[in-house]
Structure 1
Amino acid sequence: MAQQARTTPSGPGPHTTRAALDLARRLPDLAVSAREAASSVMHGVHGRRRSGVGEAFWQFRPFTAGESVARIDWRRSARDDRTYVREREWEAAQTVWLWMDRSPSMDFASDLARATKRDRALVLGLATADLLVRGGERVALLGLSRPVAARNVVDRFAEALSGPDGARTAADELPPAEPLPARSRALLVGDWLSDAEAVAGRIAALAAAGALGHVIAVCDPVEETFPFAGHVEFADTDGPARLRLGQAASLRQTYLAKLAVHRDSIAEACRRQGWTFAVHRTDRPATEALLRLATLLADGGGSAAATGGSAAATGGSAAATG
């Protein structure tokens, strides 16, 4: 069986420029896809149905002696002989820090996928940002931007990702190891093909001050199923390494077992911090993962991690030709 991957060469210098230009060309289309996905999953403002500071009207109630007269709604009070106060719904604006893996292994797509892992990660991250801002929250790109609540957040983030700082960090396989503020949250989207201990250490560093988070492992369907047979050559997208197999099918069970162990290790690292973990395949619609994320973010945070599939191999994605 033959599979062809779309890969980006690794290495400093010219590769960084090419990758940045390629991303800049694709981002307008990815931004449109993100907005479309967000619109289909829109979950509204994170109202808590309790009185407080917010934008949404909740209820009128009688004025109580000792309150500030500035709170009186004179139009409603004019309708009868009572004085009323307009209460607003309490909306807890939170900050969600986003990180999308743009390293070379993410630029992989088999013939079975709808998009490269990188494009899917960017659509999920940008769509989540759009959803959160519409819901009254603040969002930031980890290591690239400050928290914002602007309606044009997708365009702002696209510009940051394709700018000089975005290009400089594009090859990073793991998010920055900076503790996030307490009571904030993180959304980390990547293939998590790095060493499991390194991934666990990075998650622990981000959660050190008490932040909660959600980790999404984006994978190509061939990485989940290893559908190869016969003579196959695997090429590492992160370097020059190649592996030729005469009977690729004989390694399927070994590969899947190693995959499961790796993902279980990452899921356990998430559980230890109260974070969630899930797997999303690129042959499935982006809205499936986005809907789950919207539910998690609307509910206010983590709890036990859900694995959602088998697991992740410990090397770079492979381009199989045979």
Structure 2
Amino acid sequence: MPRLVLEARRIASNVQHGLHGRRRSGMGENFWQYRRFVDGEPAARVDWRRSARDDHLYVREREWEAAHTVWIWPDLSASMSYATHKLPPKRERALVIAFALADLLVKGGERVGVPELMRPSANRRIVERMAEAVILAPELPASLPPAFGPSPMSEIVLLGDFWSPAAEIAARIHDLAASGAHGHVVQIVDPSEETFPFSGRIEFEEPEGGGRLTVGRAESWRAEYDLKLVEHRARIRAAAQRAGWTFLVHRTDRPASDLLLALHMRMGAGGTGAAPGFAHGARTEAAE
């Protein structure tokens, strides 16, 4: 973890030059407003006194919750440990991007939180606080982000491999976007997951379910695999577009700074338009 923290700070420092801050007001702890309770939020957040006066449940928001907050979720599940050809595991790339993005955002005056692990904070030591929260996580990580209730002014960044069933991914995006929060889905993949370079007799093992599949001529599966990959990404992209979110693909053989710059620029542009500086691999462009 210390190595990832140092790498994140180095990348953030390199990218920071030429970027404009995103400073906003609203950092206090005073009462701001009541808003409707969103499915998936902890019941402890309900203001029962206010809710008793109506037929709906309400949450009492403070200023920092109403202000712009960026929630960053790095996928830490078992499938993210996969890596080939001495490339970094997908989990390490997700953490480096999460830390570096948080560092940039806090320096620009934003608040950053990690769903279920860390409340939004504008602390200058945000990277160390995020790393500590990840290390002390009480439960085994899941393959999809947790259901929580971001405020309408929030922005969400999801960093994972997103190989779960497309219907489950689409449903989670829909739930997180229900409050009006804007978001970005970043699929982080190892190059072999795009190019399917396998041939001959190969045994594939599912890292989270434990299933195994032995293939006699793996190369004969390549064409069908490519079609499934295109279909899977198209469904995720469609779900993101319906929610007004963006969808990016990043390969671990590309510099982390490419993704950090592109993601930060998309956030600054409100998720519209292309993101200069984001380099896709040739097969990623074809799949998209």
TM over 0.5: yes
Q: Given the superposition, is the C-alpha separation of residues 167 and 29 from structure 1 closer, same or farther in structure 2, using an over 3 Å criterion?
A: farther
Question: How far 1:183 moved relative to its partner?
Answer: 1.5
CA RMSD of aligned residues (A): 2.4
Question: How far 1:173 moved relative to its partner?
Answer: 0.7
Q: Given the superposition, is the C-alpha separation of residues 124 and 53 from structure 1 closer, same or farther in structure 2, using an over 3 Å criterion?
A: closer
The residue identity in structure 1 corresponding to 2:21 is V
- Asked whether the equivalents of residues 217 and 279 of structure 1 are also in contact (C-alpha less than 8 Å), the reply is yes
CA deviations over 1:155-199 (Å, ceiling 9, x no partner):
001001101xx141x421111122311021000000001111110
Question: How far 1:305 moved relative to its partner?
Answer: 8.9
- Asked if 1:125 corresponds to 2:98, the answer is yes
Q: Aligned partners of 1:200 and 1:251: how far apart in 2?
A: 26
Question: How far 1:294 moved relative to its partner?
Answer: 1.4
Q: Aligned partners of 2:223 and 2:187: how far apart in 1?
A: 21
Gaps of 5+ in 2: 28-65
- Counterparts of 1:1-322 in structure 2, within 5 Å, are 27-42=1-16, 43-46=19-22, 94-111=68-85, 114-163=87-136, 166-168=137-139, 170-299=140-269, 301-303=270-272, 309=284
- Asked whether the equivalents of residues 95 and 138 of structure 1 are also in contact (C-alpha less than 8 Å), the reply is yes
- Asked whether the equivalents of residues 274 and 304 of structure 1 are also in contact (C-alpha less than 8 Å), the reply is no
- Asked whether the equivalents of residues 95 and 137 of structure 1 are also in contact (C-alpha less than 8 Å), the reply is yes
The residue identity in structure 2 corresponding to 1:279 is V
What secondary structure sits across from 1:147 in the alignment?
strand
Q: Aligned partners of 2:116 and 2:256: how far apart in 1?
A: 25
Larger Cα Rg: Structure 1 or Structure 2? 1
CA deviations over 1:240-287 (Å, ceiling 9, x no partner):
322111211110010010011001100000000100000000111100
Question: How far 1:147 moved relative to its partner?
Answer: 1.0
The residue identity in structure 1 corresponding to 2:226 is L
The residue identity in structure 2 corresponding to 1:41 is V
TM-score scaled by length of structure 2: 0.78
What secondary structure sits across from 2:120 in the alignment?
coil
The total of aligned residue pairs comes to 241
Partner residue of 2:37? none
- Asked whether the equivalents of residues 23 and 109 of structure 2 are also in contact (C-alpha less than 8 Å), the reply is no
Which gives a bigger RCO, structure 1 or 2 (Cα 8 Å, sep 6+)? 1
- Asked whether the equivalents of residues 26 and 67 of structure 2 are also in contact (C-alpha less than 8 Å), the reply is no
Question: How far 1:47 moved relative to its partner?
Answer: 6.1
The residue identity in structure 2 corresponding to 1:121 is A
What secondary structure sits across from 2:121 in the alignment?
coil
Divergent runs of 4+, >4 A:
304-308
Question: How far 1:302 moved relative to its partner?
Answer: 2.4
What secondary structure sits across from 1:213 in the alignment?
strand
Gaps of 5+ in 1: 1-26, 55-91, 313-322
Question: How far 1:93 moved relative to its partner?
Answer: 6.2
